[in-house]
Amino acid sequence: MSKDILEKGAILQRDRETFAIAPQTPGGIVSADVLRKIADTADKYEAAAIKLTSAQRVCIVGLKEDDIDNVWDDLDMKPAAAIGPCVRSIKICPGTTFCKRGQQDAVTLGLELDEKYHGMQLPSKFKIAVSGCMNSCSEPAVRDIGIMGTPKGYTVMVGGNAGIRPRLG
């Protein structure tokens, strides 16, 4: 195999033999039980590593192609859709739910947006971030759509990018 397997949420790794999958963990908020299940599954299939991604996901790296379906079954999850040309996982800061600096409830808003838009097919990848205050922990200024909490509501930014040609939204 020499390419990603999008329908299985599997990304071919540098060695051109193994794959990585990233179970959907909206906003990076995950229970200890789910983390244990991910770790146990990674051990069972002798994954090379578990990596925390910049998109607030837990990625299992170094899986054999023949194991991918079984890994998803053991995780009791459907393949994550946030690869390819679609709305990626929405990056969420702790907001008023977990952070003393939060001015708005970024978690509730971010989870609602993730539920509605995550994986929606588009012509290219599309990134959204929600931050609960101007500290911008989720980096909303460098996302296609960035939502930043303020004392009186939200500021919405459009057109940001953190790629090879960075720009603020």
Domains in the chain: boundaries: 6-75, 91-158
For residue 6, the model assigns a pLDDT of: 80
CATH code linked to domain 6-75: 3.90.480.10
**β-bridge pairing 49-52 and 18-21:** unpaired
Fold of the CATH domain 91-158: Sulfite Reductase Hemoprotein; domain 1 (3.30.413)
Cα-trace Rg, the chain: 17
User: Which segments in the chain show pLDDT lower than 70?
Assistant: 1-2, 80-81
For residue 13, the model assigns a pLDDT of: 95
Separation CA 114–CA 108 (nearest Å): 10
Apex 129 CA angle, 128 and 135, nearest 5: 155
Distance of CA 108 to the CA centre of its chain: 16
For residue 44, the model assigns a pLDDT of: 98
Please give the model's pTM, rounded to 2 decimal places. Answer: 0.88
Q: For the chain, how long is the longest CA-to-CA vector? A: 52
Q: Going by C-beta distance under 8 Å and a sequence separation of 6 or more, which residues neighbour residue 135?
A: 93, 101
Per-residue pLDDT tens over the stretch 119-146: 899 999 999 999 999 999 999 999 999 9
Per-residue pLDDT tens over the stretch 82-93: 777 899 999 999
- 78: tokens are 């459907």
